[in-house]
Amino acid sequence: MLEGMTDWHSHILPGVDDGIRTMEESLSALAALEAAGVRKLWLTPHIMEDCPNTTQKLRDRFEQLKKEYTGNVELHLAAENMLDSLFEERLKEKDFLPLGEKGEHLLVETSYVNPPIGMDEMIDGVFKAGLIPVLAHPERYRYMEENDYRKWKDRGVRFQANYMSLLGGYGQVAQKKIEWMLEQGMIDMLGSDLHRKHVFDAILDKRPKSASALSRIIDVAKTSTEL
């Protein structure tokens, strides 16, 4: 299904956020991703006011996972950064776990309902810090309209979409938005945003009924940016 894919967004690092809780569950999820063909996986735990992980804590936990994992998926550590007041503090210190092997990108997110106060300034701050913002799952932001997507793309922000959205996993609005963004060539990379293995299993179960959508997933996965 996802042969050779780089999965740019997941919550498989165990026990650090609202994603997978135990090492056993993480290893099971990694086995499922490998069986589906994923070649590289970025673990991107939350850092936000409600989940104030430190970069050192996440690095330590990542080393524990690597010691336990014996499979063939290439593992990398980054973080999903909420644009909030904690982010502004960390921006001053440039205290980040960047995305991409060159360390030049930063995965960021906002509330699904409203943009944060000072979003433009925070995005500008990421650029000034020498990083390129990557907006996580843009299709899920209910406040964003077509002009908003064009605005951020014109400013150099990259988009990481969840392939579950193509299968209707986040509702019809998100599905229509990701289909439109694909038609506009706006999607730069894809991710599972995997929090629970059974959700990923459900994606696989939909494969026979969603051949066209899955074909598009594969096409984008093959052409997604290698950062």
What are the domain boundaries of the chain?
6-223
- pLDDT for 136: 98
Task: Extract the tokens encoding 20.
Answer: 């997978």
Structure confidence at residue 223 as a pLDDT band (50, 70, 90): low
User: Per-residue pLDDT averaged across 19-42, rounded?
Assistant: 95
Residues 213 and 190: their CA atoms lie apart, in Å, by 13
Cβ atoms of residues 162 and 169 within 8 Å: yes
DSSP state of 48: B
Edge-to-edge strands, sheet with 40-43: 6-7, 40-43, 74-77
Structure confidence at residue 33 as a pLDDT band (50, 70, 90): very high
Q: State percent of the chain over pLDDT 90.
A: 77
Residues 82 and 74: their CA atoms lie apart, in Å, by 25
Give, to the nearest 10 degrees, the angle between helix 23-36 and helix 197-205: 20
Structure confidence at residue 57 as a pLDDT band (50, 70, 90): very high
State residue 112 phi and psi, 5-degree precision: -75, -20
For residue 174, pLDDT over 50 is answered with: yes
130: region left, alpha or beta (phi > 0 left; psi from -120 to 50 alpha):
left
Residue type, 20: I
- pLDDT for 208: 45
Across the chain, mean pLDDT equals 91
pTM recorded for the entire structure:
0.94
Q: Where are the alpha helices (DSSP H) in the chain?
A: 23-36, 55-68, 85-93, 119-128, 146-154, 163-166, 172-183, 197-205, 211-223
Pairing verdict, β 158-162 and 40-43: unpaired
- pLDDT for 213: 64
User: Per-residue pLDDT averaged across 137-165, rounded?
Assistant: 96
For residue 13, pLDDT over 80 is answered with: yes
Q: How many CB atoms lie within 10 A of CB 99?
A: 31
Assign a CATH topology to domain 6-223: TIM Barrel (3.20.20)
Residues 185 and 158: their CA atoms lie apart, in Å, by 11
- pLDDT for 3: 82
Task: Extract the tokens encoding 133.
Answer: 């913002």
Q: Which range, of 119-128, 163-172, 201-210, averages the lowest pLDDT?
A: 201-210
Cβ atoms of residues 47 and 59 within 8 Å: no
User: Per-residue pLDDT averaged across 88-100, rounded?
Assistant: 95
